[in-house]
Chains A and B, each alone.
Chain A
Amino acid sequence: MYLFKYILKRLGLMLITFFTIMVVCFVLIKLLPLPNVKVFGQDSNIIQMRREALGYGKPILEQFFIFLKSVIVRGDWGVGENMYFGSDVSEIFVQKLPATILVNIYSMLFSVPIGLALGIYAALKKNKWQDHFVSTGVMIFVSVPSYVYAFLIQYIFCFKLKWFPFLMQPCETLSDYLSWATFVSLIPAILSLSFGTIAGFTRYTRAELTEVLTSDFMLLARTKGLTKGQATVRHALRNAMVPIFPMIIGQFVGILSGSLIIESIFGIPGVGGLYVQSITAKDYNFFMLLSAFYIFIGLAAGIVVDISYGIIDPRIRMGAR
């Protein structure tokens, strides 16, 4: 009951926060000056008239309520004005989102188990050569940005060895995205994204597990007769996962924002650059849709992460006084 009330309360707060941030986003983007573009021989009044027709001259709050009405009443987020002209912004977004999600999910599926495994292994071999080996690798992978791997991977595996195509397979339908060919074409991008993630999880897991393994209750577990393996899996790992699991969820949320550079190197038509592009191009409809999406995902993830603490560790009781 406590949890249910807690969730309801959080959802209510989430809605208020969502609305507030949306208003702030709308006002801020509208406050940015619109570029005054001049092309020799062309009438720049057209741009002014279009802006007038779009209602840019109206008070900002009035514009916000028109926008809100359009979204709520008609579910219409508008069409692109300065990007993907005339296309429904939500359609473009939905069209581009799968590529981002796909490459990042593959990357997560690849990197989380390896990262956890290496972290556990390093923790268990603390201060031995295996630990030093893993830690050195982690330092290298954490230090070097993913785009460096991306260029190297593309050069070696796509250009020199020709194991993979240079670019992601063009996809139109869901079955295209889920095809084997698409998966293979994404491998260079998956690898590029994974090295950093693997290193991050390895380092974090090692640190958490090392701490837990030296706890008193681990000694107790061993003295009551559990083997090291049993004590590690049943007690140490579970405790170590309390901070790690939310990190995985956080990583998953990060997935949706995409990776601008990796997407651009491997021709992945994702949403990586869309948000920045919408601000640069001052395309309000795209900006508001993307803002709404990311705000919602961010807030929802916060709730999920908080609730997950209680599920992973029953000692943490959400909403209890």
Chain B
Amino acid sequence: MKKLFKKFSVIALLLAAVVVTVGCGDKKTKYTVTYYDVDDVNTVVGTETVVEGNKPTGLISNFVLESEMFKDAAMTEAWGNDVVTANVSIYGEFTSKDGYTYQSSFNLSPKTFNPFQYESATDSVPLDYTTLGLYGYSYNADKTGFELKPVMAAADPVDVTTEYAKDDSYGIEGETSGYAFRIALNRHATWENGEVINADDYIYSLKALLDPKFQNHRASDYYAGSTAIFGAKDFFYSGQTTYLSAVEVVGGTQEGYEGLYFDASNVTAFANLMGGTDLTKLANYKGYFSDGETNYYEQLCQYAGDKRVPMNEELFTIWKNIMTKGPLSAYWVWADNEMPYFSVAKTTFPEYPWEKVGLKKIDEWTVDIIYTTQLAGFYKKYSIGLPLVNETLYENCKQYNEETKVWSSTYGSSVETYLGYGPYKMTKYIVDQLMVFERNENWFGYSEAFADEYGKFVAEFDGQVHEQYQTDRITLRFVQEISTREQMFLAGKLDGFGMTREYYEKYRSSIRLYSATGASTFYGILLSDYTSLVEREAVLNGVTYDSATYDSVKKQYNKTILTIKEFRQALCYAIDRKTLVTNLYPGGSSATSLYSDLILADPDAGKAFNKYTATKEAICEFWGVEYGEGKEFKTLDEAYAAISGFDLASAKKLVDVAVDKAIEQGLMTSSTIVKIDYCAASDSENEQLWYNTFNNCLTELFKGTKLDGKFEYVYNPNLGDDYGDDIQNGLADTAWGFGWQGSALDPYSLFQVYVDAGSGESDVYQYDKWINRNTKNYEVTLNIDLGDGVKEHTYTAYTWWEIVNGIYTAPEGQTSYDASYAKQIAGVISGDTRATILAACELAVLRDYTHIPMMNEGSVSLLSYKVNYGSETYMFGMGFGGLRYITYNYTDGQWADYVASQPGGNLSY
């Protein structure tokens, strides 16, 4: 036994010595390469000894030692004359074809690539490679901008509104243009299996998408907003069951509570009581749900929390007590039959025939689409689109569960359940491992007939003529860890490396670094609602808020100073945006307004909303930057360009003003400690970094002010998945880095997120929902031409939003600008006027200092030496040109050789 262990010790030491020697030595390693049959990896077809760094001669040209691919080869590592225990595998692509492979990665698994269900950017990656729209982005002639050209369509849409406006069948009676379009389809388009795509495919696909049984996620793309097809929503809602405010279903009164449900997230009656602020969540009203003795709010929470439960006697009694005994009795005269105001009811939508939906087959290659909103100019081709799935395959993918009575579809969950029709086809998909796309030889774009459009182009990086779609194959590996992605990129296994702040520091001087700006703007949301703040303040001070007895002045901690506008303004000025972005958000840019420079107000001209004079004037006014004779800046452009959003000196003065006001208003004393929360959805190292940065900014802010040593900024990363609702419902003092994506080409529509506190019919996006911007306080007066000459017009910010979007209906007896502003989209009314309205409204929103512009979306990435982008300039819609314009400096084989020839076999960026 003793001998055995002695031997073991010796072996262990020898092995350790070998490992150390191998790790430290610079000798060339000899490899014995064993060749296996391509189709049968168990059959050895030959062996060869190869010195490290050399290419095995028995392999085809794109294979070198250490390259990682998919098929098998194996070798044993030789060390001197001995074969040591470690075996090493090498992986080779045993193919005779040497082409251009774009190697990419994904770090989140796609949920689906079903065109009816995709949600995330990862989900849409396979669709980006394998599908195309009726109209698609292309560079314009001088590559300074983009244009929309027919792709799956054969020509531009033809306006046929008059054909459908003869009666009211499609809701456009009497209209002359912009609602109905005839689309000639591309007769060369086929599925990747070669089957022709014609009008029937489009008709089937839209009907399948809107099939009420499936509740397809993308359905609203075709029934909501500016792309709403007539009747699509009614068809989609046919027979659907949902819960609406009971008032909408059964009316305002009902005897008993049969069929009524209590839903803590939908108590619309209080919204009405509070003046239409649409605070529909129970939590908004907890201060009112007490009669001094009994806390009815707690009773309700025990019942339902966030769930919906059928109304019963006990619930009914609780409500009755709230409304008759609590402070709300002053606002509401309770009647037993008015329970519908405080409950929801189940409703089922009526059936709607498919024949009435606004998509008509004219012939095999032509369809007509009838929209509910007028489209014109750029928005015509931008908005026109139709979904497309393969009928035979889709039908085969339908599933029905007899027990749960639920329909679902497996379409787009594997190679077998998916058919594309774009430049590439999916040839391999192994869940959470690998996706491979290869050239779709059946794609019409590769044919001679389309050579002008999809053939050669002049690349910006070398001024030479190259082929479009040079890529033969795309491989996507599932790589979750960023450190692994970095190493794979340096080893030549990935052609792009999107990086975070830490990596940006390392590669910021690389010539292969590319920055891309996104369209979203992230801002801080500061809570200004007194009720929410005072309740949170009471909790902080360990008491229950009671409006009758609560006295802020006597409390140790204060939050209600956030209701003072100057305080919020001070916070806004105290953020050093440029430094923050440079240090924490590479690729982004500091934001000084609600819209980024990529938001286009006039896509036809490629003009960003921020480029309009009215916009610049509004932003200068907001930041207090003056220009003109005798001022710091001579011109508007100079003044606008100089805005940084950081002015610590002014911020400190504002703090003192705010403290004085707070004391004067009885919110606090000079010794009260201001304690507000930094709220985030969840905890993370990155979130803590952001918190520390803001904390440092605020610490600097309060130095030398009346709050010096009396301010605490508390890290509170507990908002969770429902962070949006929580912010809206006044449960977050400050929340930084929130924003909205979408509508990059329509700032007018996007403005809804700042002014729509709840219409009751649509989703509420406004983060500072406690502010109703449809009141007199938010009236904006403008001297402009709304189609009837230059006049003074006064509307609330919300109404202006309705006007610029053509959805405003004037009160009876007054002029409605509905029609005129719908027409202005067609260019009847000046785009400058429209921008002037939006700029004035933007200023009105900004002046609340509840939305603090912080930074604009951006990203940075490295591009491998193997490939070049089609354009060096990032452009909305085109990016850097995408896969279509990517060109290659090396074939796969050459690239492997090149990487292997680098010191240590790794690249340097």
Contacts and interface: CB of A to CB of B under 8 A. Distances in A.
A155 B397 CA distance: 44
9 contacts: A48-B242, A54-B406, A76-B401, A76-B403, A86-B413, A159-B487, A163-B77, A166-B493, A183-B89
Interface stretch (B426-434, B546-554, B784-792): B426-434
Interface in B377-436: 397, 399, 401-414, 430-434
A132 interface: no
Nearest to B261: A57
> Size range of the interface on B?
35 or more
A241 interface: no
B160 interface: no
A38 to B, nearest CB: 5
Contact of A42 (B9, B111, B220, B407): B220
Given A36-B724, A184-B87, 14 more contacts: A38-B765, A40-B765, A52-B243, A53-B405, A53-B406, A70-B404, A117-B8, A154-B487, A164-B89, A166-B479, A166-B488, A167-B488, A169-B70, A172-B430
A47 B743 CA distance: 21
A87 B410 contact: yes
Contact of A96 (B265, B431, B752): B431
A28 interface: no
A200 B577 CA distance: 50
A87 B112 CA distance: 9
Contacts of A170: 70, 430, 433-434
Interface of B: 1-2, 5, 8-9, 22-23, 41, 66, 68, 70-74, 77, 86-89, 91, 109, 111-112, 114, 117, 213, 215-217, 219-221, 223-225, 240-243, 265, 305-308, 397, 399, 401-414, 430-434, 477-481, 483-484, 487-488, 490-491, 493, 721-722, 724-725, 740-743, 749-750, 752-753, 763-765, 904-906
A38 B724 contact: yes
A310 B349 CA distance: 65
B410 A181 contact: no
A184 to B, nearest CB: 3
Contact of B219 (A46, A70, A181): A46
A83 B119 CA distance: 11
A212 interface: no
A298 interface: no
Contacts of B477: 167, 267
A55 interface: yes
Contacts of A314: none
B242 A264 contact: no
Interface of A: 33, 35-36, 38-50, 52-55, 57, 66-67, 69-70, 73-74, 76, 78-80, 82-88, 92, 95-96, 117, 121, 124-125, 130, 151, 154-156, 158-172, 179-181, 183-185, 227-229, 232-233, 264-267, 269
A267 B479 contact: yes
A86 B412 contact: yes
Contacts of A70: 401, 403-404
Given A52-B241, A160-B904, A267-B478, A121 B487 contact: no
Given A41-B743, A154-B487, A170-B70, A269 B433 contact: yes
Given A54-B406, A86-B411, A155-B487, A269 B430 contact: yes
A161 B77 CA distance: 13
B472 to A, nearest CB: 19
Nearest to B721: A35
A213 to B, nearest CB: 12
Contact of B1 (A44, A88, A158, A232): A232
A229 B481 CA distance: 49
Shortest 10 CB-CB contacts between residues of A and residues of B: A184-B89, A229-B1, A35-B721, A85-B112, A43-B220, A269-B432, A70-B403, A50-B215, A181-B72, A264-B480
Nearest to B761: A45
A130 B242 contact: no
B111 A82 contact: yes
Given A38-B765, A87-B410, A232-B1, A166 B484 contact: yes
A129 B41 CA distance: 47
B430 A267 contact: no
Nearest to A71: B403
Contacts of B221: 42
Contacts of B243: 48, 52, 57
B224 A43 contact: yes
Nearest to A266: B484
B480 A267 contact: yes
A156 B749 CA distance: 53
Given A53-B406, A66-B404, A159 B433 contact: no
Contacts of A95: 431
A166 B112 contact: no
Contacts of B478: 267, 269
